Chain A
Amino acid sequence: MKLKILILSLAVVSWISAVSAENYSWIIGGGPTKYNSQVQIERNVKWAGEVISNRSANSILKIFYTDGDDPEPDVINYKDRDMKDRQYLFDMIFGGPDVFPTFFTNHTINALSGSTHPDNLLPSLKKDFAKLTDNDTALILYNGHGWGNSTDYGLNNFRLWTEKPLTVYEFEKLLGNIPDSVPTRFILTQCFSGGFSRLIHQGAAGDTLELKGKRCGFMAESATREAEGCSSSLTVGQYRDYTTYMFAALDGKTRLGEPLAYNPDLNNDGKVSLREAHLYTLGNAYSNDLSRSTSEYYLEQWEPWYLRWLPRDKRSKSSVFTDIQKVIIENNKLPGVIALDASALRKLKFEKQKIFHGIKKDFRTLKNRIKMIQFGMIEALQKKYPGIKNAYKNKFKDYRDETTQSIFKFLLASEQAKKLNELFMEKDKLDLTLLDAERALTQVERVERMGKLSKLDSLFPVFSKQTVKDNYQKIIGCENTFL
């Protein structure tokens, strides 16, 4: 009888623990200041939150965003250039060549868990992480900005609210509060996010193949490059970051409700795993991002000296990265020969680089022309209204409104201001062209990267030790989990 009761109790306990398994998700979003917290980030955070809530069973979602519940404006919005806008006209003349008409709003994200300021974020996460149990899963999405460090990628960081940095080392320490048995996934979209690949190792060490817990992640960029989110796409429109593609694949449709290019469910199990969504992103993202996952990072870390300079062999043709390479070539209408002929690939890369640098040069020239006109106009205004430059900085507080208005009318009618506005419009167009050239160059770089990964992917099973193979499978297992 006692034995029966014991078995029954054990069964009940295991059932309860299975039932109580939760999928915890945390979104950390927004820029470090209101001047760098773009509305596009806010939109992506909202959308990602919706996708997680809809797609993840038993999901518990927490969102941390910029200044939390503070009603002060914390999001920068962009609007069309309009000379009749008094503030913009003054900005156009006094604000330098990169000025863009903006306005600030407070974010509209509901059910916030507070600010991303470390004083709020770190204790909250620490507390949440410590509560996790064996059957839970953890997903951390960072949708904001980051800095890099060229000498130690472990010092690459998240730029939290009020420009407080959170380095890879510090974040790894924080993740240490999660039990090793809990699959811990991270999706990071900021510049230099590749440095965070090291989170899979104890102490974020950069020189080991040992793993810490069940951790895996997806990063928008390498440890040394800026992500699309730092490009001019923010001001000139057409913003698309890693989340745009990754979450579209996870949701089965784009943010605007459009269908996907193809079904990302590679193993046809009816569900799209994080890894499948990432692979879809690698093939389909037309952006500046050279995205990567922790399993790819692990392959690159493993690459031994005797394979580094070896060419690809036949077996690389069966690699998933070769398939993605084909997709990139097809999507971008690139010549198929670049997948096989290194000289052709290099030639194409040179061509794309030349186009990109040519436009960049034109862009610099245009900016200099803008600067020259601005300088000339300021000089002329200074003669007529001494101290106007400082007055602009003080928002014309010392000027009577009629005076400011008469200056505005004078400027609005001036030919130079019209010319300046035309140049700014031209600059916006050129900015878009530059962005497109950079994206086109990135596609070629992505083809090159897929070639390298296909080589590593195909040689790994042949040359790696069993312990390393097991580690790799552990990362792949983690990446193959769902929202």
Chain B
Amino acid sequence: MRNLIYFLLLPLLFYPLYFLAVNIVDSIMGDQQLINWLYFDSKHKLLFTFINDWKSSLPVMYGVYLILVKPLHFLSSKLFFGSFWLEYILAIIIVVSASYLFGFREISLVANGLAIVIILFFVNISEYIYKSIRR
């Protein structure tokens, strides 16, 4: 039951993390869309858009979770802690390659990459805590 809740709830937090990461990049190097929205557009509409996007992203986020993150859960603690950084490097390579293949060559690549890294960081920390507790 605890596992089920853990698996089901974790991907729900991925989109907010993605949102945060992408907007950090966009605010520093891009069009500052979120800042502009907060200044000039409706907050109510922003919340509505956020919730809708969050719902739309769930299939992808669960997919990401199952492919990239879930296998970690079956690793032994020793292997997991040992591969902590290797996993980051692998994830970034996957993101960069995929982004390039899809046609992104510039700033959006940085945004996507950072988003994935932040999500992975979050997942790893939660996995770290989970495994530490079970030890």
- A interface with B by C-beta (< 8 Å): 304-306, 308-315, 342-343, 346, 349-350, 448, 451-452, 455, 462-463
Contacts and interface: CB of A to CB of B under 8 A. Distances in A.
Given A305-B53, A309-B26, A314 B105 contact: yes
Nearest to A224: B42
Interface of B: 15, 18-19, 22-23, 25-26, 29-36, 39-40, 49, 52-54, 56-57, 60, 102-108, 111-112
Given A310-B111, A448-B36, A342 B105 contact: no
Contacts of A313: 104-108
Contacts of A462: 102-103
A305 B35 CA distance: 17
Given A306-B60, A342-B35, 17 more contacts: A306-B18, A306-B112, A308-B49, A308-B53, A309-B19, A309-B34, A310-B111, A311-B29, A311-B111, A313-B104, A313-B107, A313-B108, A315-B103, A346-B36, A452-B31, A452-B33, A463-B102
B42 to A, nearest CB: 9
Instruction: Decide if the interface of chain B is mainly helix, strand, loop or mixed.
Output: helix
Given A346-B39, A349-B40, A462-B102, A310 B22 contact: yes
Contacts of A309: 19, 22-23, 26, 33-34, 111
Contacts of B29: 311
Top 9 A-B pairs ranked by shortest CB distance?
A: A311-B30, A305-B53, A342-B32, A313-B106, A462-B103, A310-B108, A309-B22, A305-B56, A311-B107
Contact of A311 (B25, B40, B53, B57): B25
B30 A346 contact: no
A330 to B, nearest CB: 21
B106 A305 contact: no
B31 A311 contact: yes
Contacts, number: 68
A349 B39 CA distance: 10
B31 A342 contact: yes
Nearest to B53: A305
A349 to B, nearest CB: 7
A339 B103 CA distance: 23
Contacts of A310: 22, 26, 30, 108, 111-112
Nearest to A346: B36
B56 A342 contact: no
Contacts of B30: 310-312, 342
A439 B36 CA distance: 20
A452 to B, nearest CB: 8
Contacts of B39: 346, 350
7 contacts: A306-B18, A310-B22, A310-B112, A311-B26, A311-B30, A313-B106, A342-B31
B43 to A, nearest CB: 14
Nearest to B108: A310
A306 B59 CA distance: 12
A304 B19 CA distance: 13
B4 to A, nearest CB: 26
A348 to B, nearest CB: 12
Nearest to A312: B31
Contacts of B111: 309-311
B62 to A, nearest CB: 14
The CB with the most chain B CB atoms within 10 A, among A309, A310, A448, A452, is that of A309
Contacts of B25: 311
A113 to B, nearest CB: 40
B23 A346 contact: no
B106 A314 contact: yes
Contacts of B19: 309
Contacts of B56: 304-305
